[in-house]
Amino acid sequence: MSNAIPHTWSIAIHGGAGSMTRDTMDAAAIAAHEAGLAAALDAGRAVLAAGGSAVDAVTAAVAVLEDDPQFNSGRGAVFTYEGTNELDAAIMAGDTRAAGAVASVTQTKNPVRLARAVMEAGPHVFLSGAGAEVFARAHDVPVAQASWFATPERLRQLEELKAQPDGWFDAGMKYGTVGAVARDAAGHVAAATSTGGLTGKRWGRIGDSPLIGAGTYADDRAGAVSCTGSGEQFIRAGAAHEICARMRLIGEAPDVAARAVLDEIGAMGGVGGVIVVSSAGEIAQVFTTPGMFRGRADSSGAHEVAIF
């Protein structure tokens, strides 16, 4: 019988799973990404250490990643095939299972803050496009010009992709979704995810990130999950909810549940990663790609970021 005492609070973040390796990232890029992850982790950790809520913590962490042009969300989001930045985000609170999500927004500085406004101030769960932008203005969610999101490196990536013979889809596994999960001192969990989607996405494509139960889910009876990877397969698996369901209904540990669902996604031809926090504060960070930008911290003093 274990005598382990659950953590008072814990938090995990990710900046996307993908094809990055030590051979494809130089020392400067590694250092810059690690610094960005640490800044986001510190933002969420500060909220929890001060007795704040899991919802506040994941909002704070994801907003930092959205503002960092190294990650594919908010500033630095990838370009669609048509040369625009279309942003998706979701957030969910585990105590009430309240949730908010937005898709295809182009003028909201921090999509996670808009998703939270939808959760807390709107009658619906999921808003998209121009309607979501109208809601943002009505609820004083900060806006930004297109120039805020666009970066030369992301434009270069689009041009590179379009120059390929089959250049219409990011087949190189350069996924860059960001997310956070947390368990606060009151025992509540929350999850948030934000993304620019796939380089070269077309036809209004939306992935798993803003879909409650696919890329984002939280339930105090089990835990909270944020996903990153090949969105189509994560949608088909209902990945985030499936992980929570395995934890709640058959008592699987977070890492076991995560690996089982990622195995199912693999059988469908998909790859990616997940971060999970259980209702007891246990953290799992599991991925089937060469790397996943990630970090974790808890009330015992743990604090670490990693990529490979």
Is there a contact between 220 and 188 (Cβ–Cβ < 8 Å)?
yes
| Distance between CA atoms of residues 188 and 46, nearest Å | 16
Is there a contact between 308 and 17 (Cβ–Cβ < 8 Å)?
no
Coil/strand/helix, residue 258: helix
Q: Which residues pair with 90 in a beta bridge?
A: 101, 193
Laid out side by side, the sheet with 283-287 consists of 216-219, 223-229, 272-278, 283-287
Is there a contact between 279 and 223 (Cβ–Cβ < 8 Å)?
yes
Give the total residue count for the chain: 308
| Distance between CA atoms of residues 275 and 295, nearest Å | 9
First to last CA, the chain: 34
Give the count of alpha carbons within 13 A of 259, CB side only. Answer: 6
Which residues are identified as catalytic? 177
- Rounded to 5 degrees, φ, ψ at 223 are 170, -160
Strand positions, DSSP E, the chain: 10-18, 87-93, 99-105, 126-128, 178-183, 189-195, 216-219, 223-229, 272-278, 283-287, 291-298, 303-306
In the block, tokens 């250490």 appear at: 49
**CA 4 → CA 1, 149, 259, 281, distances in Å?**
9, 45, 23, 12
| Distance between CA atoms of residues 189 and 57, nearest Å | 10
